[in-house]
Amino acid sequence: MDPTTYRSYRDLPPLAGIGSLADAMQPGLSIDDCVARLKRHHWAFRRLHGIFIKRLTAEPIYELKMAFSLHAHYCAEHAAAWRTRVGEMREPPLGLDAVPHAALDGFFDELLAAPATDALLLGVYGHALPALRDALKRHQRETNRLVDHPSFRICRFALIEVAEMIAFGEKALAQLLTPARRTELTPWTDLLARLLAQAGALDGHAPEVSAPVVERQFSATPHVYDGVPRRDERFTDSYNMGVHAEAFLYDETLPPEPKTLMMYYKRLREIDVPEMMASIIAQTSGKPWDYTVAMTRQLWDEARHAMMGEVGFVRAGIDWRELVRVNFTWSLALNTQLTPIERHAVLYFIEQGLMPKTGKRFEWEVGVASGDAFSALIQDYDWADEVLHARIGRDWYVKAMGDARKATDYGDACWSKVLIDWESYRKQRLTWHENWWPALYREWCRVHGREIDPRIAAYNTSYAAARADLRELSTSG
């Protein structure tokens, strides 16, 4: 039969609409060639995930900290998709923990070790992600869309989020990388190009450029994870513990409407959960990739919660940068005082305390009672997220511990070890623990034309006045 005369029934789209017959008759990539590229795609997403995680805690710029949380989540999920696909391709054992090429690993090591934020952004968003985008598009062009449709489809979905990450990076670089600094970094970016050339491009499709050794510049000294959280200049007085949000929130004599401000603060304060969770992921080895996917999803959820609080303040007409003091004492204490498994134990222990009626349900009920539909909305989703996080804890922490009671007791013991010595911060003159609540409340009343309630304006929200168990009430929520 002449293929050019073959017609589908009543000229319906052939091949389920995925492509033309002419395209489907082309040879495309063999299984071996396809798998080799899939492993490179996987390795790129895996290494990028590690870079976002390992640079998140010490990155001071809030918007980048949030973006790294999201982009790590994207990369973890796409790496998982490629792992599954390789497993479908007659490939036991998968060999996905093996470095595909020394120069490719050198390339990602250089990004991880970038000495400053602008260099990191240039390497990740200006070089690595565009190279990955090109590799995924090349795979789509060169594979047979019919016989390798599962890979084609994964490429298509991955490209959506790779494009989103690149778009974010381009905007960030336009604001944070000066032309002079870009010129200064040219020798390094030339090195990145040479490393990719030595590897035969990111996906290995090109002939490898031989070189005697893998060149290194920033990664000549291996990167060491920095678990000390940092914040940009908008986060003034990061040791401030002058406002005990929970004491105010759980006071039944107070009306619900101003409590929404405290819940926005609690959400924004959750910046420290990604900072802490990144340390667990970065410093825990020997876990299956599903663990990384689940933990990174939770990390991203916590970043979302912080941004919910940010949006809540902006929507309420409140400049949180001037009126709110967002501390980092929780992530600082856990990251510097506990081991990764102890941090995970504390995380699980605190999550269990969020489920009773004084936890997430209560916050949602306050949001509903306040009449603020947005406050109710974010608390509704925050509650749902925390139910998911409790399940992640059961799947990856409790099972490893053996049983729920042992897991909870260990978390309690680890939390008891943590010293958030708020009084010593004052003695060291790191903070005066300013009670910023009255100014915040008065500004909210002014913006919304409300009469100031003297009792609420004078409410003593300090930790010293709370007379409650600080282990239970000084958490991030």
SS3 letters for 119-188? HHHHHHHHHHHHHHHHHHHHHHHHCCCCCCHHHHHHHHHHHHHHHHHHHHHHHHHHHHCCHHHHHHCHHH
Q: CA-CA distances (angstroms) from residue 261 to 109, 224, 265, 310, 440?
A: 43, 38, 6, 11, 8
Q: 309-325 pLDDT, tens per residue? A: 999 999 999 999 999 99
Give me the percent of the chain exceeding a pLDDT of 90: 85
Rounded to the nearest angstrom, the gap between the alpha carbon of residue 370 and the centroid of all alpha carbons in its chain is 31
Q: Which domains does the chain have, with CATH numbers?
A: 16-212 (1.20.1260.10), 245-473 (1.20.910)
Q: What is the mean pLDDT of the chain?
A: 93
Q: 216 in the Ramachandran plot: left (φ > 0), alpha (ψ -120 to 50) or beta?
A: beta
Q: 35-89 pLDDT, tens per residue? A: 999 999 999 999 999 999 999 999 999 999 999 999 999 999 999 999 999 999 9
pLDDT reading at 116 higher than 70:
yes
pLDDT reading at 286 higher than 90:
yes
Rounded to the nearest angstrom, the gap between the alpha carbon of residue 290 and the centroid of all alpha carbons in its chain is 16
Report, as an integer, the average pLDDT of 104-130: 98
The per-residue DSSP string of 297-344 comes to: HHHHHHHHHHHHHHHHHHHTT--HHHH-----HHHHHHHHHS-HHHHH
Residue 382: per-residue pLDDT = 96
Residue 422 token pair = 């708020």
Q: What angle do CA 467, 382, 296 make, to 5 degrees?
A: 105
Give me the percent of the chain exceeding a pLDDT of 70: 95
Residue 271 token pair = 């910046």
Length of the chain in residues, anyone? 477
Q: 402-447 pLDDT, tens per residue? A: 999 999 999 999 999 998 888 899 899 999 899 999 999 999 999 9
Stated pTM of the model:
0.95
**HSE-CB of 220 using CA atoms within 13 angstroms:** 7
pLDDT reading at 397 higher than 90:
yes
pLDDT reading at 475 higher than 70:
no
Q: 118-163 pLDDT, tens per residue? A: 999 999 999 999 999 999 999 999 999 999 999 999 999 999 999 9
pLDDT reading at 468 higher than 50:
no
d(CA 268, CA 321): 11
d(CA 293, CA 392): 10
Q: How many C-beta atoms surround the C-beta of residue 25 within 10 A?
A: 11
